[in-house]
A and B are shown apart, each in its own frame.
Chain A
Amino acid sequence: MTVDDFRSSIDAASSDVERRPGATTERSALAAVVVPLRQVPPTYPDQRPSPGRLRQIDRAFFGPFFREKYGTGGDKALENGRIRYYGPVQPANNAGELAGRRYVHEFDTMTGCTRGWHETLDRMGNVRQVRPERPNGMMGHYQFDSNGRYKGSW
Chain B
Amino acid sequence: MEVDLQAVRRVFKDVLNGHMLREQADRWAYAVVREEETGVVTYSPPRERERIWAGVMYLYGIDTMKAPNTYLHSNDDIREAMMAIVGGVGDNLASTILRALERPSQCLAVSEASVLD
Q: Establish whether residues B81 and A154, one from each chain, have CB atoms under 8 Å apart when the complex forms.
A: no
Distance (whole angstroms) from the CB of B69 to the closest CB of chain A: 9
Q: Establish whether residues A90 and B81, one from each chain, have CB atoms under 8 Å apart when the complex forms.
A: yes
Distance (whole angstroms) from the CB of A97 to the closest CB of chain B: 10
Q: Establish whether residues A92 and B30, one from each chain, have CB atoms under 8 Å apart when the complex forms.
A: no
Q: Establish whether residues A69 and B66, one from each chain, have CB atoms under 8 Å apart when the complex forms.
A: no
Q: Establish whether residues A93 and B57, one from each chain, have CB atoms under 8 Å apart when the complex forms.
A: no
Q: Establish whether residues B72 and A95, one from each chain, have CB atoms under 8 Å apart when the complex forms.
A: yes
Number of A-B contacts (CB under 8 A): 47
Q: Establish whether residues A94 and B58, one from each chain, have CB atoms under 8 Å apart when the complex forms.
A: no
**Would you give the 0/1 interface string for A21-51, flagging 1 where the beta carbon is closer than 8 Å to chain B?**
0000000000000000000000000000000
Distance (whole angstroms) from the CB of B4 to the closest CB of chain A: 18
Q: Establish whether residues B61 and A91, one from each chain, have CB atoms under 8 Å apart when the complex forms.
A: no
Query: Cβ of B12 < 8 Å from any Cβ of A?
Result: no
Q: Establish whether residues A118 and B66, one from each chain, have CB atoms under 8 Å apart when the complex forms.
A: no
Within 8 A of B (CB), among A98-148: 98, 100-101, 103, 114, 118, 120, 129, 131, 133, 141
Which residues does chain A contribute within 8 Å of B53, judged by CB atoms?
A: 69
Which residues does chain B contribute within 8 Å of A133, judged by CB atoms?
A: 30
Q: Establish whether residues B61 and A131, one from each chain, have CB atoms under 8 Å apart when the complex forms.
A: yes
Known pairs A92-B77, A93-B77, A133-B30; A98 contacts B58 (CB<8 A):
no
Known pairs A101-B61, A118-B61, A118-B64; A91 contacts B30 (CB<8 A):
no
Known pairs A91-B77, A133-B30; A98 contacts B61 (CB<8 A):
no
3 closest Cβ contacts across the A-B interface? A118-B61, A92-B72, A94-B74
